[in-house]
Amino acid sequence: MAIKRLILFSCVVLSGICLDAYWTWYSYHFAAACSESGNSVPASWFLFTIALLIPASASLPFRSNPVYVLICLVIWLLHTGFQVYLIAGEMRFAGFAGVNCYRHAGAGGMASVVLAVLFSATLLAITVAFGAAWLVRKLVRSVKTKRADRPLCDVF
């Protein structure tokens, strides 16, 4: 049951770890291929993991809400699809033309970072919206129970 409740957290954090692993490997691959040009691509290390850990942690209070989890998982699948498309395009281009040490050094990694930040912001916005809806529901319930507890003579 605990795994079922942590599926969103696990998916988001694992995708951040995988992105870190790929872009760190790419930076070393780029450095090996382009040592003569002097260009380099910085390793991402834990950039993606931290960027995606923030909304994943914020999502923990709503992990039992199936609508919230479904919406976030659909957005996560879109994000993962875009990232895979970006990485596949980068690999396809490098396989076809070789690593271009002078043109767009790090453009794929930067696009990946921008996508991860947009994904994080989207998950945080959805979490804030669900949190606001939860607070409004709680407030309405407390007002209804206070009105129901009052005696009839106080009403008139």
Query: Going residue by residue through the chain (156 aa), what tens digit of pLDDT does each one get?
Result: 566 678 999 999 999 999 999 999 988 888 888 887 777 888 888 999 999 999 999 999 998 889 999 999 999 999 999 999 999 988 887 777 777 777 666 788 889 999 999 999 999 999 999 999 988 988 888 887 777 666 656 555
Q: What domains, with CATH codes, occur in the chain?
A: 2-147 (1.20.120)
- CA–centroid distance for 109 within its chain: 16
Q: Tokens for 106?
A: 């790090």
Structure token pair of residue 95:
């396989």
- pTM score > 0.85 for this model? no
State how far the alpha carbon of 82 is from the alpha carbons of 1, 54, 65, 115, 144, in Å. Answer: 30, 20, 26, 8, 46
Under a CB-based contact definition with an 8 Å cutoff, are residues 111 and 79 in contact?
Answer: no
